[in-house]
Homo-oligomer: A and B are copies of this chain.
């Protein structure tokens, strides 16, 4: 009989986690109770927000308990169902675990149609990261034609889509990414007007030079030194959707934010947001982005790691930017 390998949270990190914060165990494959569905994991999503859930303190999601399985969005194939809405063989997306198998409430799952898009896209361009990019760009950033839109982590799943949406809305779009390969991708494939490598010694000067008219919207994914370089370039009435702060997630002591006199003088809006609050925008997001994908107006890229056993190392790589595109783990073949 098959076993269910799964990663538990073994201890809480101080600072950057290491592989020994996770523990791989084997458990029996779960059985569904009434209203539940069991899936074989095909793809596991690894995302920066998971770092916050490893802490004990309250974040925007409740913490994972010590000794409990690490949670993740998954794409899976139904292998057992005790719900009339799902049958064996269905391909579904929903919240699950860093595991070979997950048991789900049926109501938490959505069925995917693999003839419309590769199932892994439900974890990226057509899933939570895409929805996040859409809400932050359209509803908070509100780029207007001719405005300058800057986005950090621009080669990532959220940043690359945010910038492409801003281009569709008529903005001039500048990405910020780590390293020449990512910058080239952002400009050549995603069609951004420019992309600045934040690892360059003259990053702040290069960013200023790329934004001669200042910055009207800064889509924030990283915080830290990148935000410090952006801050003095913000224009009057600038909007800063704060989507993520990956450069700060491993800080042991909270680092200070930017001086607020600029926020006052320039009437800047900063808005922290979490896509879970914006479920009512999923349908519009999905319709628009599906359409833009179909008509080849947007590109996306996935970074696929093979094998559940490699999930911790892949996750830790998010914090040094070793992924290039949406990070997913292929746990089993489709």
- Near B by CB (< 8 A), chain A positions 238-263 give 242-245, 248, 254-261, 263
Q: Which residue of B lies closest to A264 (CB)?
A: B272
From 84 to 117 in chain A, residues with beta carbon under 8 angstroms from any chain B beta carbon are: none
CA A264 to CA B244, docked complex, whole Å: 7
Q: Is the CB of A265 within 8 A of B58?
A: yes
Q: Give the Cβ gap from A227 to chain B, nearest Cβ, in Å.
A: 8
Chain B residues whose CB sits within 8 angstroms of the CB of A256 once the complex forms: 256-259
Total interface residues on A, CB under 8 Å, equals 32
The residues of B that contact A242 with a CB separation of less than 8 Å are 260, 263-264
Check A270 for interface membership: any CB of B closer than 8 A.
yes
Complex: chain B residue closest to A254, CB-CB: B259
Q: Which of A257, A269, A273 has the most chain B CB atoms inside 10 A of its CB? A: A257
**B residues near A75, Cβ cutoff 8 Å:** none
CA of A265 to CA of B12 in the docked complex: distance in angstroms? Answer: 19
A223 within 8 A of B: yes
A141 vs B59: C-alpha distance in the bound complex, in angstroms? 23
- Interface readout for A215-229 with B: 1 if CB under 8 Å, 0 if not? 000000001000100
18 contacts between A and B (CB under 8 A): A227-B260, A242-B260, A242-B263, A248-B261, A254-B261, A256-B256, A256-B257, A256-B258, A256-B259, A257-B263, A264-B272, A264-B274, A265-B272, A267-B272, A268-B270, A268-B271, A269-B272, A270-B271
Question: Ordered nearest first, which 5 A-B pairs have the shortest CB separation?
Answer: A256-B256, A254-B259, A257-B257, A264-B272, A263-B272
